Structure 1
């Protein structure tokens, strides 16, 4: 069992890795992890499949930034409220492409995490509003 301070530090490192890229972030997940993107209805089993998902996802953004607003941490679970912002320059599954080829965005979400005995993430369910993202990337841009 891990103490709360250790879990909290782990989450801070996890968020920092989310701001770097696929290779950095997947190290926080177990080999058999289950990752669910509830906003776009994607479920991914296994670290290698998650790595491929992130390798496809990260190039769709520039200036990607994830920040946390609040975390609730226990020995076995955590809930993390976060904000993701940046510029969408590609197409996300289940989301229309930006109307102008690229579009700035910022939206809030939350992840529910379950920790494995080794301290890594065994399951993540991420919740966010696809409608919020679509509204932002579909808005006409003044030039």
Structure 2
């Protein structure tokens, strides 16, 4: 991947909508960033999502478990095949249960995690594939 100073504005718009919807717990806004035919892989949680219905279920669980999210996008990398990666930092407060993450969490604790997500886009300009990398242990140390 080569470092990119800027990405196409239509791609930037999808990234910004994704980040904003996560921070505002806007389920419909979040889902609107993704194509119907998706494959999302979260390596830390060892999970794969392959349908919008499954994504909706998982995002509802996330929104029920975490509030006051702050997601900062820290730049982009653009690949030769059109994939775009973004480094990010996410902070949130634990208010409920999320599988594999909050089993021993102290409610009200705040965490910050850094990660990298690589996206490919559908022909209509929405996220179609995502692979995310971050440290599960970093969050667990902060919330237990």
- TM-score grouping bracket, smaller chain normalisation: 0.7 to 0.9
Matched residue, 1:43: 48
Matched residue, 1:16: 20
Contact 1:83 1:106 in 2 (8 A): yes
Aligned-residue RMSD, C-alpha? 1.8
Q: Cα distance, 1:77 vs. partner?
A: 1.2
> What is the distance in 2 between the residues matched to 1:114 and 1:98?
35
> What is the distance in 2 between the residues matched to 1:103 and 1:45?
31
The runs of at least 4 consecutive aligned structure 1 residues that moved more than 6 Å come to: none
Structure 2's unaligned 5+ residue stretches are: 1-6
> What is the distance in 2 between the residues matched to 1:18 and 1:27?
12
Give the 5 Å matches for 1:85-124.
85-124=91-130
Structure 1's unaligned 5+ residue stretches are: 139-143
Matched residue, 1:141: none
Q: Cα distance, 1:96 vs. partner?
A: 4.2
> What is the distance in 1 between the residues matched to 2:32 and 2:130?
14
> How many residues end up aligned between the 2 structures?
136
